Structure 1
């Protein structure tokens, strides 16, 4: 399992690096994130359908794709959100069994917001000045945090962080992940020529590790509520697409707002 996890992680990071670095002749990062979002939404719908109610697959998938791509069109979010809300509500009136109509609508909305809207921040971050470097920063800090939290937590973790949500996560692992994130953040300053001080980047790395691990707990809470261990098994050693997006998405959102507010 550990060998599979390592190999899969390396392959994913290399693909992500290439997609972030090159944006011609096509916006490869947007294409990759969109594909990832569609696959993650598919897992989300499958899990929810087993224990709750089947979300609206077509409407949810189209909305997810549009949300992820929305940063390419200025001021597209308000009309997109309005259109999705109106169309999905009108869809409730179609002939057929309507006993779970609003439950299905609610889960459709949840999937689009959690996956489509949040993933769009990775695309939005790439579109900022110096966005290529900042996306790589967010990815590297998250990978370092997740990797060391997993390894150290597995080897020495005795004090459980949230046993009712994720019994495998420990405070020892969380601290190790935070230290790794700070170290990588400061190493990347000269490597990526980031326009922030070492102290600021160290604090950003710490915050990204913390919010990334919180995002991982949110994903664990979702799976526990759905009574599943993993959202899927598409990625050897890692589970499904949803399992690998939680911490990255939350860290990318944090980095996005840091860049917008303090680094531009």
Structure 2
């Protein structure tokens, strides 16, 4: 019950913010969420290194400030490239790196990409023409995919999709994910009354259904690999920020990069 109540509250809040909040406020909100997500990520992958987690948070915050200032994905990619390069260079003068130290370095770099680039792209979507349409399209497809996967999987699911990663997911649920995402894309396009190529809308809906499912599995892979159930406890019934945004972090970059192909 807590999961459903929290989900409804979050959905209403998301719709209100997307309709009425200025783009700058949305970017600030995404930055705050990314910092929480970064803390969750580093707490899972590098729990014993408090100093590394703090440095990671600072770098994520700095990287996302670049997003707000430069308003371009290339600047964010260059920042991540520099940090990744320096993360390995600073180890050259010291003793030979141990496997554990290299593991920590690898997850540190992955965490920066995961929480800085993926959240950063979500923030950059507010700079797109017709950004409200694209944000609602992304959210509707992602939520529609989750709902479709749950409904179809619960009623018709028989064949496991990835039993080692997520025992509850089925292939039938995967088909429901694609169907739910397509319906979400159609609904948003009709409500916004935009004139677009419907084949493009249907194709993006289908693609987001698959990408969202893979994003969910990627989060499951991370948590199962480290033996944790949830990334955090911030959201009652849902876990942490990464648990709630697992699919959205993978669907939003796809929409961001295909948005220029829309002709309104």
TM-score band, normalised by shorter chain: 0.7 to 0.9
Residue correspondence of structure 1 range 1-264 to structure 2 within 5 A:
3-24=1-22, 27-50=24-47, 56-72=52-68, 73=70, 74=72, 75-77=74-76, 79-85=78-84, 88-89=87-88, 100-263=100-263
Distance in structure 2 (CA, Å) of the matches to 1:195 and 1:81: 37
Q: Is the 8 A contact 1:69 1:120 kept in 2?
A: no
Distance in structure 1 (CA, Å) of the matches to 2:113 and 2:77: 13
Residues 107 and 228 of structure 1, relative CA distance in 2, 3 Å threshold: same
Gaps of 5+ in 1: none
Offset, 1:102: 3.4
CA offsets, 1:33-66, max 9 Å, x none? 111111111111111235x866711221122223
Offset, 1:85: 3.5
Distance in structure 1 (CA, Å) of the matches to 2:142 and 2:244: 11
Q: Is the 8 A contact 1:68 1:116 kept in 2?
A: yes
Q: Is the 8 A contact 2:219 2:243 kept in 1?
A: yes
Q: Is the 8 A contact 2:77 2:117 kept in 1?
A: no
Query: What TM-score, normalized by structure 2, do the two folds share?
Result: 0.86
Q: Is the 8 A contact 2:144 2:180 kept in 1?
A: yes
Q: Is the 8 A contact 1:55 1:107 kept in 2?
A: no
Offset, 1:222: 1.0
Distance in structure 1 (CA, Å) of the matches to 2:139 and 2:232: 22
CA offsets, 1:121-163, max 9 Å, x none? 1112221111121011101111111122123323432111111
Distance in structure 2 (CA, Å) of the matches to 1:79 and 1:183: 37
Distance in structure 1 (CA, Å) of the matches to 2:3 and 2:155: 16
Distance in structure 1 (CA, Å) of the matches to 2:164 and 2:81: 37
Residues 235 and 257 of structure 1, relative CA distance in 2, 3 Å threshold: same
Cα RMSD after superposing both structures: 2.7
- Residues matched between the structures, number: 260
Distance in structure 2 (CA, Å) of the matches to 1:65 and 1:214: 27
Gaps of 5+ in 2: none
Query: What TM-score, normalized by structure 1, do the two folds share?
Result: 0.86
